[in-house]
Amino acid sequence: MAQLTQRAATFQRTLSAAAVSSTRCLSTASTSPITVETSLPFTGHKIDPPSRSVETTPQELLSFFRDMALMRRMEIAADSLYKAKLIRGFCHLYDGQEAVAVGMEAAITRKDCIITAYRDHCIFLGRGGTLLESFSELMGRKDGCSKGKGGSMHFYKKEGGFYGGHGIVGAQVPLGCGLAFAQKYSKDENVTFAMYGDGAANQGQLFEALNMAALWDLPAILVCENNHYGMGTAEWRAAKSPAYYKRGDYVPGLKVDGMDALAVKQACKFAKSMPSRMDQLFSKWTPTGIMDTLCLILEAPIVRVMRLVVSD
Amino acid sequence: MLKILRQKAGAARAVVLSSRNYSASAKQMTVREALNSALDEEMSADHRVFLMGEEVGEYQGAYKVTKGLLQKYGPERVVDTPITEAGFTGIGVGAAYYGLRPVVEFMTFNFAMQAIDHIINSAAKTNYMSSGNISVPVVFRGPNGAAAGVGAQHSQCYAAWYGAIPGLKVLSPYSSEDARGLLKAAIRDPDPVVFLENELLYGESFPVSEEVLDAGFSTPIGKAKAAEILAKDGIDAEVINLRSIRPLDRSTINASVRKTNRLVTVEEGFPQHGVGAEICASIVEDSLVISTLQSRGSLGQMSQCRMLLTLNEWLFRRL
């Protein structure tokens, strides 16, 4: 808890710094480029990190805000539905982690593939899914994206480059490397983002897949969303080394502030553009959705973008 | 006596061979050659087909089933993997998600246990869970069951385990014709197929007709084959070579039992919860008239973690 309070204080400082240092005058429809500094610097492992200055536009910032706010509202609504027993089974929520989904989408195309674990509702939205498809699927209705047969953990949208939605912790990482294998085999100039949590970071199959991806030079980017909990167990009790971005050893890694959508966008753009198609290990700090109790940190990714939009 | 043969047993093999009619023009082909030629032809016909597994490339195959294929198709399509079944099976299934048609080889199916999560949860169930959005055209193949004294950890038969899983097709070829036809059908199939070979059969030779040798040949999945009528030692028996564990050819089995009123099942796997047990259950359900016996109904129909309570209730009410 003390750790969380310390981070909250850091965020308050960086938020104010971002707001004060900007000299922007934003019009909502404007597509003129502006440059924003990420709130925290990147840290590289066996690689020079990208610049902290991110190119964006007011229109993009507004779309970030809208998308993240939509995702947040959807997850909170899902939480209420779950408590009302209209959603049964599992319901893993992504509120607090929206900046990762939104920042990633801004850097990639629908021809790039994303695969993730069971915290997949917002990734699905980012890949072109609709609210109707999401809520219907959560409640087991035939209008759901999987016609009600998948449920919370099994959203898919192959035509949008989204390959699920996987219930077995860590399984999505070799699958994601398989998608990258197929992209390379088919000579598509695209990449795959295989997302996983800090809990899955300890899985053996992740390292098996990482070895093969590095050996065969696959266009795979492994993204660790670190919310400091693996199911109900805190990170310090599960992982000897919490520096997940270094876990790739011979594979370059980047530590990114997952609360900052622009930092995520910069990092994903950087990873995608790597000329030698090395796969990378990211480590993003984000709080948990369901378990975090500190409101300021939950709000931070959306508030940060909001401040950028409205400041002048 | 009726014998249902799922795999070669020593006596049955001898009996079947001795009663075949050899024509002068029939070509002899080993099971190994049959598998090799099937892989070769399917890789040639469809660029999406590729092989991966331990020793499939430079070593020419642990049992030489993939001999010559690396030279012909190159390392992109014949991929030697490290000894990491969980990892490479996941990679194969992921490639199938994208639209390729991988053939994943396990050196034996004992090692596939390390990857069984990907076979079942990532491959078999995905078409259902995605309601058809993602199909998984992958083939898992390799030797299954006993070899020549390789010990307990290397000798298990997995037919019953995989045969229980909805979403999988499970095949167990016997002859070269079976091997060729079924492997081609498996590779062309849009769903995951577990293809259980047997190491001891690789070197066995069988006659194959011109039809079998054609590149377009394939055997429909799910059909058992009536083997020879045995007249040995005065035993009159119908021998059924199942070939397909899942789907099980219940109609052929039941028709034969109703005709003969007798049944012997022969398998390599452990008896409890085995293929023979399922055959007996099928006979009890479909062929026996016991008025007090309730059918199993839809118990165990494919329905993984159901999110909607009412669908769960509907399924279990059918018991």
pLDDT tens figures, A181-208? 999 999 999 999 999 999 999 999 999 9
CB contact under 8 A, A208 and B86: yes
- CATH number listed for the domain at residues B6-213: 3.40.50.970
Please count the residue pairs, one from chain A and one from chain B, whose beta carbons lie less than 8 angstroms apart.
Answer: 151
According to the model, what pLDDT value does residue A145 have?
97
Q: Is B76 a catalytic residue?
A: no
According to the model, what pLDDT value does residue A273 have?
86
Q: Report d(CA B159, CA B172) in Å as an integer.
A: 8
Q: Quick one: what percent of chain B has pLDDT higher than 90?
A: 71
Q: Is A134 on the interface with B (CB under 8 A)?
A: no
Q: Report d(CA B257, CA B270) in Å as an integer.
A: 23
Contacts of B90 in chain A (CB under 8 A): 171, 173-175, 177-178, 205, 208-209
Closest-CA distance of chain B to residue A246, Å: 20
Tokens matching residue B41? 């032809």
B203-232: average pLDDT: 84
Contacts of B311 in chain A (CB under 8 A): 140, 148
ipTM over 0.90: no
pLDDT, tens digit, 9 for 90 and up, residues A62-102: 999 999 999 999 999 999 999 999 999 999 999 989 999 99
Q: Quick one: what percent of chain A has pLDDT higher than 70?
A: 79
How many angstroms from the chain centroid is the CA of residue B100?
21
Interface of B with A (CB under 8 A): 50, 76, 79, 81-82, 84, 86-100, 117-118, 121-122, 126, 128-131, 133-134, 305-309, 311
Residue B266 confidence (pLDDT) above 70: yes
Q: Is pLDDT larger for residue B252 or for residue B316? A: B252
CB contact under 8 A, B311 and A205: no
CB contact under 8 A, A164 and B130: yes
Q: Rounded to two decimals, what is the model's pTM?
A: 0.85
A131-154: average pLDDT: 96
Residues 6+ apart with CB under 8 A from A167: A90, A117, A118, A153, A154, B121, B305
Q: Is B273 a catalytic residue?
A: no
Q: Give B287's pLDDT tier (boundaries 50, 70, 90).
A: confident
Backbone angles phi, psi at B230, to 5 degrees: -85, 130
Q: Report d(CA A263, CA A267) in Å as an integer.
A: 6
Q: Which amino acid is at A156?
A: Y
Contacts of A207 in chain B (CB under 8 A): 87
CB contact under 8 A, A179 and B96: no
Q: Is pLDDT larger for residue B248 or for residue A8? A: B248
Q: What integer best gives the mean pLDDT of chain B?
A: 85
For Cα atoms A198, A171, B104, give the angle at the middle one, nearest 5 degrees: 150
According to the model, what pLDDT value does residue A94 have?
93
Q: Is pLDDT larger for residue A289 or for residue A206? A: A206
Closest-CA distance of chain A to residue B118, Å: 7
According to the model, what pLDDT value does residue A274 have?
79
Q: Where in chain B are all domains bearing CATH 3.40.50.970?
A: 6-213
B258-272: average pLDDT: 91
